[in-house]
Amino acid sequence: MGIDDRVRAVYPGSFDPVTPGHLDVVDRARALFDEVVVLVAVNGDKQPDADEEKRATAVRAVLPAGWTTVTVTAWRGLTADYCRRHDVAVIVRGVRNTTDLQAEHRLAAMNQSLGVATVFLPTRPELAVVSSTVARASGG
């Protein structure tokens, strides 16, 4: 398989802060795809504690050294635009519950219309109760 045959995926999110659930999704995504880009994004609906560059640095700091196929990038703009510009075929989304799934399904349909597929990875039950919002509120 040549480098042009590699399947790249992005895992977008605010990662404010990164949680064990996020790391679990990245770990499982790297088993499915040749490369995974953790895309630290700006979400107009959220008010993060730090800008996207600082959040990207925080994500990089917690990734295990052996995860050499995982990179972290800060991005302002649509995830689908990033995918088209960087030859990324798949968006990975973790879903904790049916509410997440409904919201993510709508986004997946929009991204599919823009030419980018979405893969949903259900959160492991023991990690599903911790969101970034809850982690931030509890100080960690």
pLDDT digits (tens, 9 = 90+) for 118-130: 999 998 877 766 5
Catalytic pick among 22, 28, 30, 55:
22
Active site annotation includes 22: yes
Active site annotation includes 54: no
Return the minimum-mean-pLDDT range out of 76-80, 98-102, 132-136: 132-136
The pLDDT value given to residue 50: 81
Count Cβ atoms below 10 Å from residue 117 Cβ, excluding itself: 12
**pLDDT class for 105, splitting at 50, 70, 90?**
very high
Per the document, the length of the chain is: 140
Q: Which whole-number Å values give the CA distances from 104 to 2, 66, 90, 116, in the listed order? A: 32, 30, 14, 14
Which class for 131: exposed (0-12), middle (13-18), buried (19 or more C-beta within 10 A)? middle
Show the domains of the chain with their CATH numbers.
3-137 (3.40.50.620)
Active site annotation includes 86: no
Q: Which residues are annotated as a binding site for substrate?
A: 14, 46, 79, 93
Residue 65 C-alpha from the chain's centroid: 18
Q: Which residues are annotated as a binding site for ATP?
A: 14-15, 22, 94-96, 104, 127-133
Question: Model's pTM, two decimal places?
Answer: 0.85
β 35-41/8-13 pair status: parallel
